Each structure stands twice: as structure tokens, then as C-alpha cells.
A = this chain, B = another copy of it.
Amino acid sequence: MLQNELTKRLQIDYPIVLAPMAGGVTSSELVAAVSNSGGLGMIGAGYLSPDQLRHQIKEVKVLTTKNFGVNLFVPSSYSVDEQKLTISEKYLHSIELELGIQKTTPSLPNYEQDIETFEKMVNIVIEENIPICSFTFGIPSEDIRTKLKQNASIIIGTATTVQEAIMNEEAGMDAVVVQGSEAGGHRGTFAGGDQQSLIGLLSLIPQAADQLSIPIIAAGGIMDGRGLLAAQCLGAMGVQLGTAFLVCEESGANKLHKEAILEAAEDEVVLTKAFSGKMARGVKNRFIEKLHGAEENLPEYPLQNELTKAIRKAASADKNPEYLSLWSGQSPRLAIKLSAQELVEKIVNETLKLKNTLS
């Protein structure tokens, strides 16, 4: 149960994966601590530059000799809608004035450049012999998949519907992270509608398991042994935990972010497109409320993400959680401040104990 096909393939002791939270949350200390505790540490490289990624890989290698992985965002193409840009800038400018931020002209992302960066990142994963590479927001090209597999890297996709899970299996992924509606941060949806891809794990896992032969890693709201054993009952082999590790001592998340989660109730965690243009789940704050009515008129990801950068940076410097993205899953009441090792041990012990009460 704790050792299975997935742990064997990933060469880890327990089927507990660190969710590859981007934006500095998966610090080298956190990645290494999860791997050293018998789980799988993952670098959330979504917003890193190639140089930063190489640097962090080298850092983690100093801190652990165990397997760890890297997660990459598959670049999204997008169209620029001038009207939406104008609407967003109007909202954001009033907030910038309020926060005393000098108006800046954000550099808009460039899809061709994103693809180039993505390929560089993949090459770094290969050069550094990273054994596990996972992907969010889509399925990488066949070239990239083949290249990684030739390097003996295990590749893992992300899905929010059964159909997306099937697409990952058909693309030759070795495993798939199945992200339930409970999950914090960005939705990994890439082929479905925003609303229709919000499937609770209790529904999503068994329906995906019935269609797949590759191992399923369940993600969304799982924080303890109850969640791990439940996910396995439903047909998952392992679990990927974000929020639970985000509040850990080693995590690189902003202190205000950790505090917001530790104080939140499950119904204070909401879905929003306000920060990035892509649906994501986090603790409700003033920024989300202010942009609430405009959500469907905001520029797409990653445009809106660039536009809100200055505000998030200033809010962080000002220690103002009302304008930070406070990503969280739907189980904030289960968050506890521990070290990553204590958390992994706690989950393992709870799972074993719970299993015995069932028998």
C-alpha cells in the first residue's frame, strides 16, 4: 500500500509527492527535505529561468542524494485582446495608486520565446540527469517526450478530467497527476472548459482509474493519512500535496501566505482568474474581491500574470496579504506548521494506523 508500482518506479519509500508549486515555494530545502524523508521532492520550475533552474538543481543535489524531480509549465499560446488589456489596466492602475506603486509598463510575454525557454529547461533536465520530469498546462511535443524518455527520465502529466488523463496516457506518459477541484493554485486544465473540469477527487479518481493503465497520482485537498488512504481506495497509487507542504518550515512561501492558510476555513478558499487570467484557487482577499466582477473580461494567461506582477511584488514588500496570491487547496483547516520530515512521518503513521482500524 505504501510501497507499490509507483514508489518502485520513482525509487521512493512512500507515495507522497511534493506538488511543484512555482514562484519560489519549492525551495531547495523543501525539495530535499521531502526526498530525504522518503517522498518525492519536486522543483516547481514554472517561473524559473533556465539559469535559475540549473542553479536550484545543483543546490538540491548538495542537500540530498535521493531522487527528486522537476516540473515544467508547457507554454500556452494566447491572443492579445486590446480591450481586455485596457479593462485590466484600469482596475490594476487604481490598485497601484492605492498601494503607491509607480506605473510600470509590463513586458508582455512572447510565445515563441516561451517555447525556446521551455526547450532549454528540458535540456537542463536531461543534462543534469533528473530522473523525473512532470508537466502542467498541457502535453509537451513528441520530440520532447522522446528525448526525455531516451534519457531514462520518467515523465508525468497533469489532468483535470478523464479525457485529459487519457490524452496523457496515449502520449506515453509514465504516470498522471489527476488534479481534483479541491486543489489549490492553478488549474491544470488544458483540453476542457473551466467550469466543467472542476471535478471532485471522489468522482475523478475512480472514473479515471477505470480508463487508465498508468499509475494515478491524486492531487487536491489531501493533507494527511486519511486523504492518502482514501485516494488509494479510489484507485490512485500516490498523492501529490501542495498546501500541506506549503505551510512547512522549509517552504519558500511568503510568511503571510502561510499564515493566511493556517487561519482560513474551507469556505474562504475561492476560485479566481484575477491574478493570472487562468483559474486558480486561493484564500479570498481584497484583490480577488476587487476584480471579481471583471474576471471574464481579463486578458488570458499568461498576460494577466505579467500585468499583476508589480502589485504582487509591492504587496510582498509591504507585508500586505490583501494583494498577494494566497494559493490554497480546500482543506486549510488541516494545515499544520511542521517540518517536511515531520509531515511525511505523520502521514505515513496515520495511514498505517487507519489501515489497521479498517481491517
Which residues of A are at the interface with B, using a C-beta cutoff of 8 A? 1, 161-163, 180-182, 192-193, 195-204, 206-207, 210, 220-224, 226-227, 229-235, 265-268, 270-271, 284, 329-331, 333-334, 354-355, 358-359
Contacts and interface: CB of A to CB of B under 8 A. Distances in A.
A266 B199 contact: yes
B210 A227 contact: no
Contact of A195 (B162, B271, B329): B271
A265 B162 contact: yes
Nearest to A181: B200
A8 B227 CA distance: 26
In the complex, the count of this chain's copies comes to 2
A229 B207 CA distance: 16
Contacts of A162: 265-267, 333
B231 A202 contact: yes
Given A162-B333, A196-B268, A202 B229 contact: no
Given A193-B267, A201-B200, A234-B226, A210 B333 contact: yes
A232 B202 CA distance: 12
A227 B196 CA distance: 21
Contacts of A234: 226-227, 230
Contacts of A230: 202, 229-231, 233-234
27 contacts: A162-B333, A180-B202, A181-B181, A181-B200, A182-B199, A182-B200, A182-B203, A193-B267, A196-B267, A196-B268, A196-B270, A198-B198, A200-B201, A200-B202, A202-B220, A202-B221, A202-B222, A202-B331, A203-B331, A204-B330, A206-B223, A206-B227, A207-B266, A229-B230, A229-B358, A230-B230, A233-B354
Contacts of A358: 1, 229, 232-233, 355, 358-359
A230 B220 CA distance: 15
A191 to B, nearest CB: 10
A235 B226 CA distance: 8
Nearest to A222: B202
Question: Chain B CB within 10 Å — which of A162, A198, A235 has the most?
Answer: A198
Nearest to A269: B196
A329 B202 CA distance: 11
Contacts of A331: 202-203, 206-207
Nearest to A161: B267
Contacts of A221: 200, 202-203
A165 to B, nearest CB: 11
A358 B352 CA distance: 10
